[in-house]
Structure 1
């Protein structure tokens, strides 16, 4: 028995030892479950405490949030599905403007109110002039007092007027977590939700139906709810925080309302007609709003679009003297009087990207077009960056079939998201050529907000309506709103169309195809002129021609953007595609593959010329005459007339310098086309010398390296084509890698000043997918004058070396520089270079320790300064060719006549020839 018992005990011990691991594992699982249960209930309790605290805080901030939930109301206990919804998915919080104090010492006036909004105070502080500061302050005070904008506007669209008093109550309905009754826009309004408030927000977004649920939730939808889900009204029993006398649904129950509008459906464009009689062809009024210096491209655009029955009204930005003179030349040559240029007080405006002034420009120009004697059916606005993708005949045929319709392009996204992205919920003030953001605002209720593109094709009746000098209440109210709106032209016409009696003429198509490349176009490149981060379309290039061809069977008649300085061949190819008969003729013409664009003209007062460009161009004019070796020329009498960028075969060739050595009165020259008033006038073609060295092992890896200023991230190119850099420039290094090459390591970039001192050091972050890139050094101003070096290093190995020139300034604000200013600018920065002391010792071979001696630098002025500049410029620029405009005895037989060359700005350019246009 003892032996049996021992055997039993041994078996039990063995069994316990064998299954001990399972017992331990089971106990561990039990402990984990207990811990998780404890944590869950503690967390639920904490969530309830936090939510209750949050809601109680809302009650304490009634003034800021517009009301709060009643203490002890049943909705304080949130079900699990509402915890996630309210805190993560659908939360909608109003922007709370931080309160700061304005320093009144900065002002020479007393504001009409106490300004404490962070954005308004920032704008006033940053503005330079007292006039601009006062304007921002005045608008801010009106906004704070609720006097700047109408609170409500009434739609006059026959079938969608919106509710006048209360939205129509459709009853209480059963909702579902996944299959919601109203599946459109959704937001949470903790302090102000009510049937009226929710309905106004839904109507603003174009939703016919609105619903309030769970007290604080607002839903919008397009479809009427099914009566199968209808519940007794008593099932919706939670009070509204915005109006406790009303019910705002319940848990998974929703009060639904009709907002007085119908679901919006844009009209379809007609492409054929059943009418037997041939309708009179549509006549088009083109409103060209042009800017910059691409006058030849504007002439080409007008030439392609021209028809005697059409009318062209050209508005040139008020600051663009050169373009204005060129457009007046077009008007003068057109004897049929169907080309007009805006002139006179109040008719030319200066506009900026996103500026409220652009809408003012469009409306005032529309009024002028209406006042002309020409009859027209459609107003089409274009810029110098537009070009047609179908023939004139096809456009006229299409618009003839759609007379009375209005073509605008909508944003295509949820309206509230569009409002936020577009900045429509912010107030902006335009002054000092900048849009200053001053704070949040509420858009008027009662109307549907819409917007998209500012390029439109509008019927004459609608233009007469929106441009009426005595507008109706809707247009008057919209004008008040859009006077302080960013990008107003992108929303004004759409919103007016949706809410007026013209609502049934809305076609969601602006006849344009736009080259959007969001990754490149959304680089916040307009921060210098607007308190916002906006996007802009890219230029079409030759590789994009497939997109142009894809418009063949679609109702698209224009494309944008085009810039001949970026890619002219895409424009040539598009024109030949539209008009195949031109192809063989044009390619044989002289200058077919060339393009010229003025960068400076002596007659321009506005905008002010760049002092660096003027300094170098002036020097190149002197070097041109020096190169001619005319013994009796007088150094001080050489006058720079014009500088022109010259392109051929789709690439920049050089800069053309036109100048003369005569002191005749230059003011008598009114246009760059009148050349014969200047005897002894010459033009030279000048190119930039090669100043880059790439080591053998890297030549097949790096396609391009360049240093210049004005780098355009969107187009990945320098706008400063001639690489003109002075003591106040901010140089940038841009690189392009060979496709398929991926460096194994980053490259160090060393910026070395003319004395061999390391001024800055950076890193090129080489990423597999990046072919283009740029790097900007942190260099103190003013820069040291002379030859700078940029070294690319791979550890201790030199990859590439670039040299670039920094010149002293001969001009300051377009006047000859004074000795005092020269002393201030030409001695380099007084602050030492801020460079990391941990420098690779291998790099010291490329540096020196020479000291700077600037005692003679600051004394150079007048003739001595000019000779110094010429000596520097001659090392970096090379005169390739020279021609004459009027025969000169000194160079007879040595030079060609400019008009007979293939490169001169005076040589034939059929693309911009408008002499026989009218």
Structure 2
């Protein structure tokens, strides 16, 4: 009876019943959102972390543990107790200790010192264990402990940029907001558990906004436009408590507490075109920061830029002995060229790059007082001018005192995260180690973008002298010494927050060849705990980008590598300066060194030298038999003609009939690839080779000489020509087989490629790494096969040579090993031609008189490294005295 009555009541009043349930549900939801009632299994990370800490502190009892509440550190983490943890293998093969709850501990047995603090960060501990030297480990520990104590980074820095009538943290009141027309529309974020007016103001100031607003307890808005007076509300309308400080109000439902951040609106300066009459043109100090071995390209760049009115300060990476020695030879001929003796090892992304720039700028200001320059501009060997030097001087003369940097052009907070500015890095052991998160100081705007800059002398003096005594510069240097790619942000951030803020020009005077699909391959992970992007080399197909600079205020382009493509450099030179004469000698030839006897600290490629010595033995024991061992290799150079690799050149000393001679021989690697003529896909193979050094960004093997050692990582590279028959994108699954010298299958893998016959060339280049081969590899002739559906498309043979010097158990065994290697080398390399070098260390006479071999002097050839190369002959400039300057 009661059941029937209840059913009748429900049917009659079910609408009101459902409405009541909705009201109760809504109240519960609002209570959860406003009061942040924790719900099991949900909530923020901070709430879960707090619950976990309280649980472990007061409830959880670890068997055998003698920890008490007093043993906890201020962060709520247990002290390290190595006796209660089990060893586990961590990164880099080192032991990392973890407790059962998952916490990582530092293995003290890995250190020869006692850490001054109890480290908590997994990233820090991982970096310590992966670091190679004890000095590096200690450097990481000391910085991490200083950060952990709160004594390392400045919490706030001053902003000296004029701010007009704006007052930091000034409250403007409570304002009505609208969903479709936000009063602050520049940036938005939600601080679910940490919002407060000061936190939001600091974020908006850091991002360069004039106004900050807090709304709906946890929301933070930034903008540059002041709120309209018509939207003003009574202060009581903003009555929701802040998630990070319940004593303060953080707006309400579509109501916002608005504050000034204390900075004025920033606008980059515009530039002038015409210099003021009656003023002398500016002088430029070109700061060349060089790496690698492209000596001829550096000479070509200097030759293009050279003027006696300007100055050239050269820093060569500490590891590049060859380039440093060769560029020192310029100083006696050019009084306005100076090579820095204070050298840094400037790894990609390293903090040392900023230190090097500041040190070089300080040298330009203090050590060369007779150099009266107005601007300093940094360049690399990969830069090349797209306009004449006169046009650059005219432009800078019209914009004296301005500073040229390029900003990132995106939201500041996104830039900070993508750039890793919210992380701490430590540089040591030629590596950038990431050791944890950090909070950037309040009070300053963060900016950054390109590390290619052109700065006025006054600002350069400010950043170098401000390293001691200026709170802003000192504080930012502390930040950026522990930052990846610091030169991309330091100068920008100092400019935005200093008295020079109104000299900021958003233009670094460069055009850069970005192809992010190719350039963002995380190719530097071996030297930095981060993934970055690098621009690509210009090639003729990129000419439209260079042509487009004609009407813009760009004066340089990058990157250029003549060993990848020299044609585009020649095209650019003739575009800027006019065509070369028709009879210009060796215009399309290029040489680049890749080994020199005097390089003591550069790692030697043992496999390469074994191959070269084998080639010299083959020459010595050939039909002519003009010389015998011993012989000495002086240097090795790549040789290209019309951007085609024509072999490598061996420069070496020998004794012929008792006389010392210097000879050079050209050697061509052989192409051993064979492709199927019956398989349609095989007929499209135009390249099939194995390399130990494949550049994904440039889609090219940099192992031009094709010497592969027993410690090489093998990569199969192949290129498909376009197909007229197939117009559609097709997927192919290919199999790569690696056969060792015994004919045994050593590794196999599958690769799926997208074949787009009508796409750009780089889409048709593919590669596959041999991932399961154990090193050292067996020496001898290997075979790589490319298979599609059990059909052989192509096969290539390659020689693996010992990476160690040949040294048998006795002289007989050693000679047998050499003979075996010589027989194999003959299959993979062809000796093309040899010449002799005049005044090359001979006592008397020349090889010409000895059975007419070799027949040519090297400078008379068009292939030798001693052949004329006037396009890169900077010394020819020294022979011409201009502007009344006498050369030493």
Which band: TM-score by shorter chain? 0.7 to 0.9
Alpha-carbon distance change, 447 to 249 in structure 1, aligned in 2, over 3 angstroms: same
The answer to whether the Cα contact below 8 Å between 2:693 and 2:702 also exists between their aligned partners in 1 is: yes
Alpha-carbon distance change, 278 to 46 in structure 1, aligned in 2, over 3 angstroms: same
The reply on whether 1:460 has 2:483 as its aligned counterpart is: no
Shift of 1:628: 6.2
Partner of 1:90: none
Alpha-carbon distance change, 64 to 508 in structure 1, aligned in 2, over 3 angstroms: farther
Query: SS where residue 917 of structure 1 aligns?
Result: helix
Query: SS where residue 776 of structure 2 aligns?
Result: coil
Gaps of 5+ in 2: 1-16, 54-100, 757-762, 839-845, 879-888
The answer to whether the Cα contact below 8 Å between 1:154 and 1:161 also exists between their aligned partners in 2 is: no
Partner of 1:389: 386
Partner of 2:750: 763
**Partners of 2:604 and 2:871 in 1: how far apart?**
27
Partner of 1:181: 183
The answer to whether the Cα contact below 8 Å between 1:594 and 1:648 also exists between their aligned partners in 2 is: yes
Shift of 1:801: 0.8
Alpha-carbon distance change, 626 to 36 in structure 1, aligned in 2, over 3 angstroms: farther
**Partners of 2:44 and 2:865 in 1: how far apart?**
74
- Which of 556, 559, 564 is 2:557 aligned to? 559
Query: SS where residue 393 of structure 2 aligns?
Result: helix
Partner of 1:900: 860
- The worse-fitting range, judged by mean Cα deviation, of 511-520 and 753-762 is 753-762
Alpha-carbon distance change, 758 to 144 in structure 1, aligned in 2, over 3 angstroms: same
Q: Deviations over 1:601-624 (max 9, x none)?
A: 111113222222222223223333
- Which of 107, 119, 124 is 1:103 aligned to? 107
Query: SS where residue 597 of structure 1 aligns?
Result: strand
Partner of 2:781: 787
Alpha-carbon distance change, 891 to 216 in structure 1, aligned in 2, over 3 angstroms: farther
Partner of 2:513: 515
The answer to whether the Cα contact below 8 Å between 2:682 and 2:793 also exists between their aligned partners in 1 is: no
**Partners of 1:191 and 1:860 in 2: how far apart?**
78
Partner of 1:845: none
In the superposition, the TM-score normalised over structure 1's length comes to: 0.82
Shift of 1:567: 0.4
**Partners of 2:204 and 2:176 in 1: how far apart?**
20
**Partners of 1:520 and 1:40 in 2: how far apart?**
56
Alpha-carbon distance change, 625 to 104 in structure 1, aligned in 2, over 3 angstroms: same
- Which of 550, 569, 572 is 1:571 aligned to? 569
Alpha-carbon distance change, 894 to 355 in structure 1, aligned in 2, over 3 angstroms: closer
Q: Deviations over 1:844-901 (max 9, x none)?
A: xxxxxxxxxxxxxx99864443333222212100011111114214353642110000
The reply on whether 1:689 has 2:670 as its aligned counterpart is: yes
Partner of 2:797: 803
Query: SS where residue 574 of structure 1 aligns?
Result: helix
Match runs of 1:84-483 below 5 Å: 99-159=103-163, 167-273=169-275, 275=276, 277-334=277-334, 337-343=335-341, 347-371=342-366, 372=368, 373-468=370-465, 470-483=468-481
Shift of 1:501: 0.6
**Partners of 1:423 and 1:147 in 2: how far apart?**
21
The reply on whether 1:739 has 2:722 as its aligned counterpart is: yes
Alpha-carbon distance change, 748 to 37 in structure 1, aligned in 2, over 3 angstroms: farther
Q: Deviations over 1:317-364 (max 9, x none)?
A: 111110001111122332xx0000001xxx111110000000000000
The answer to whether the Cα contact below 8 Å between 1:391 and 1:578 also exists between their aligned partners in 2 is: yes
Alpha-carbon distance change, 101 to 859 in structure 1, aligned in 2, over 3 angstroms: farther
Shift of 1:187: 1.3
The answer to whether the Cα contact below 8 Å between 1:427 and 1:438 also exists between their aligned partners in 2 is: yes
Partner of 2:759: none
Alpha-carbon distance change, 292 to 211 in structure 1, aligned in 2, over 3 angstroms: same
Q: Deviations over 1:287-334 (max 9, x none)?
A: 000011001100000000001000000000111110001111122332
Shift of 1:799: 1.1
- The worse-fitting range, judged by mean Cα deviation, of 719-728 and 385-394 is 719-728
Partner of 1:626: 621
**Partners of 2:524 and 2:240 in 1: how far apart?**
48
**Partners of 2:609 and 2:441 in 1: how far apart?**
50
- The worse-fitting range, judged by mean Cα deviation, of 860-869 and 557-566 is 860-869
Alpha-carbon distance change, 790 to 893 in structure 1, aligned in 2, over 3 angstroms: closer
Shift of 1:134: 0.8
Partner of 1:601: 596
Gaps of 5+ in 1: 1-33, 66-96, 665-676, 812-816, 821-857
**Partners of 2:310 and 2:426 in 1: how far apart?**
37
In the superposition, the TM-score normalised over structure 2's length comes to: 0.85
Alpha-carbon distance change, 520 to 39 in structure 1, aligned in 2, over 3 angstroms: farther
Consecutive aligned runs of 4 or more in structure 1 exceeding 6 Å deviation? 34-51, 62-65
**Partners of 1:882 and 1:717 in 2: how far apart?**
29
**Partners of 1:901 and 1:338 in 2: how far apart?**
34
The answer to whether the Cα contact below 8 Å between 2:318 and 2:344 also exists between their aligned partners in 1 is: yes
The answer to whether the Cα contact below 8 Å between 2:620 and 2:628 also exists between their aligned partners in 1 is: no
The reply on whether 1:489 has 2:475 as its aligned counterpart is: no
Alpha-carbon distance change, 901 to 161 in structure 1, aligned in 2, over 3 angstroms: farther
- Which of 604, 611, 615 is 1:616 aligned to? 611
Shift of 1:678: 9.3
Q: Deviations over 1:770-827 (max 9, x none)?
A: 412110012111111111111112223221111011112343xxxxx6669xxxxxxx
Query: SS where residue 315 of structure 2 aligns?
Result: strand
Query: SS where residue 478 of structure 2 aligns?
Result: helix
Alpha-carbon distance change, 49 to 384 in structure 1, aligned in 2, over 3 angstroms: same
Partner of 1:880: 832
Shift of 1:731: 1.0
- Which of 661, 665, 681 is 1:680 aligned to? 661
Alpha-carbon distance change, 41 to 866 in structure 1, aligned in 2, over 3 angstroms: farther
The answer to whether the Cα contact below 8 Å between 1:810 and 1:866 also exists between their aligned partners in 2 is: no
The answer to whether the Cα contact below 8 Å between 1:708 and 1:731 also exists between their aligned partners in 2 is: yes
Alpha-carbon distance change, 659 to 44 in structure 1, aligned in 2, over 3 angstroms: farther
Alpha-carbon distance change, 467 to 479 in structure 1, aligned in 2, over 3 angstroms: same
The answer to whether the Cα contact below 8 Å between 2:675 and 2:683 also exists between their aligned partners in 1 is: no
Query: SS where residue 561 of structure 2 aligns?
Result: coil
The reply on whether 1:867 has 2:862 as its aligned counterpart is: no
Q: Deviations over 1:479-527 (max 9, x none)?
A: 1111111000000000000111100000000000000000000000000
**Partners of 1:634 and 1:410 in 2: how far apart?**
62
Partner of 1:537: 535
Shift of 1:119: 0.5
**Partners of 1:158 and 1:396 in 2: how far apart?**
30
The answer to whether the Cα contact below 8 Å between 1:624 and 1:684 also exists between their aligned partners in 2 is: no
**Partners of 2:174 and 2:407 in 1: how far apart?**
34
Partner of 1:704: 687
- The worse-fitting range, judged by mean Cα deviation, of 431-440 and 704-713 is 704-713
Q: Deviations over 1:544-584 (max 9, x none)?
A: 1111010001000000000001100000110110001xx14
- Which of 480, 497, 506 is 2:504 aligned to? 506
The answer to whether the Cα contact below 8 Å between 1:659 and 1:683 also exists between their aligned partners in 2 is: yes
Q: Deviations over 1:606-656 (max 9, x none)?
A: 32222222222232233333346225x332x11111110001111211111
Alpha-carbon distance change, 396 to 36 in structure 1, aligned in 2, over 3 angstroms: farther
Match runs of 1:20-59 below 5 Å: 52-53=37-38, 54=42, 58=46
Query: SS where residue 874 of structure 1 aligns?
Result: helix
The answer to whether the Cα contact below 8 Å between 1:621 and 1:640 also exists between their aligned partners in 2 is: no
